[in-house]
């Protein structure tokens, strides 16, 4: 397939492009090459390349800052996706869009399926939900791929931060009452490849396998242990670590339907973390 990747310079984009290039013809655009909020530019590029599919990795991803920069987040995560959807629909191109566990409020306390109702608790989640909805209002053939707690070589993330501060301190404190599923960008890239090759259109969930979820504390403890550090990891509550944006206390995504429909089987989160740390350390 001929595939345009937007936001290719971001953390996911940097791992996704080589995974796709093994079997597809990829046209990778970073932010400066294609701004998804510029409808004219989106139109010109898609008109000239005429891909089979566009994969949108472009996004505003600063969860806390989005509380202040709400309009900017909405312009990129909402209206930018609307532009892509309109142009893809006009040219008969399939759109694969990456979204987030933060479209859910966390009250379910069991893994969220693609069929569950959304109800974001912060401005970032609202902006991502706007993108999902715009896309669904415009298009018939699309993939929305929700994921969670991403980490990878090409961007700042929790694994790198914990590794750095644990290397500098004897003790670190990490929130233990938010439950989710970490996801290596390589897992997500392979999941996206399986999904777009499956033609099972609609909403998909791709994360590393946690069997019901782990906390940020569990995740930090594994990062410290697998890095061979002796730092003590102390569990704390969300109340003890206030942030500008509220986060769902439980946002595990159910990957079962994607596994059955596409054949993609995500690795265990510890295996992904081990492989990432081996390449990173």
Ligand X SMILES: NC(=O)c1ccc[n+]([C@@H]2O[C@H](COP(=O)([O-])OP(=O)(O)OC[C@H]3O[C@@H](n4cnc5c(N)ncnc54)[C@H](OP(=O)(O)O)[C@@H]3O)[C@@H](O)[C@H]2O)c1
Q: List residues with catalytic annotation.
A: 124
Q: How far is the CB of 47 from ligand X (least distance, A)?
A: 18
Q: How far is the CB of 35 from ligand X (least distance, A)?
A: 4
Residue closer to ligand X, measured from CB, 124 or 217: 124
Q: How far is the CB of 49 from ligand X (least distance, A)?
A: 16
Q: Rule CB under 6 A: is residue 233 a binding residue for ligand X?
A: no
Taking CB under 6 A as the rule, which mask of x and - marks residues 97-136 in contact with ligand X? -x-x---------------------------x--------
Q: Which range binds ligand X by CB under 6 A, 106-114, 145-153, 194-202, 224-232?
A: 145-153
Measured distance CA(174)–CA(220) in Å, rounded: 7
Q: How far is the CB of 230 from ligand X (least distance, A)?
A: 28
> Which residues from 26-85 bind ligand X, rule CB under 6 A?
31, 34-37, 57-61, 76, 80
Residue closer to ligand X, measured from CB, 128 or 204: 128
């Amino acid at each position: 397939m001929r595939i345009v990747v937007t936001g290719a310079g971001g953390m996911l984009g940097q791992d996704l492009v080589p995974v796709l290039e093994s079997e597809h013809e990829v046209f990778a655009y970073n932010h400066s090459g294609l701004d998804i909020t510029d409808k004219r530019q989106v139109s010109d590029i898609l008109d000239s390349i005429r891909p089979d599919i566009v994969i949108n990795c472009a996004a505003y991803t600063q969860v806390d800052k989005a509380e202040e920069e709400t309009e900017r987040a909405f312009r990129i995560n909402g209206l930018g996706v609307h532009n892509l959807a309109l142009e893809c629909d006009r040219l008969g191109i399939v759109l694969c869009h990456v979204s987030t566990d933060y479209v859910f409020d966390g009250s379910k306390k069991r893994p969220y399926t693609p069929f569950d109702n959304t109800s974001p608790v912060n401005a970032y989640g609202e902006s991502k939900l706007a993108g999902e909805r715009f896309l669904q209002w415009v298009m018939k053939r699309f993939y929305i791929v929700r994921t969670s707690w991403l980490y990878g070589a090409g961007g700042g993330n929790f694994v790198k931060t914990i590794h750095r501060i644990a290397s500098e301190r004897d003790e670190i404190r990490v929130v233990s009452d938010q439950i989710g599923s970490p996801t290596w960008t390589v897992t997500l890239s392979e999941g996206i490849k399986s999904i777009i090759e499956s033609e099972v259109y609609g909403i998909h969930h791709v994360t590393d396998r946690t069997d019901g979820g782990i906390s940020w504390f569990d995740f930090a403890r594994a990062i410290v242990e697998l890095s061979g550090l002796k730092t003590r990891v102390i569990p704390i509550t969300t109340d003890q670590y206030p942030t500008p944006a509220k986060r769902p206390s439980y946002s595990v995504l159910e990957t079962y339907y994607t596994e059955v429909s596409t054949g993609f089987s995500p690795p265990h989160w510890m295996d992904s973390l081990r492989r990432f740390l081996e390449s990173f350390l």
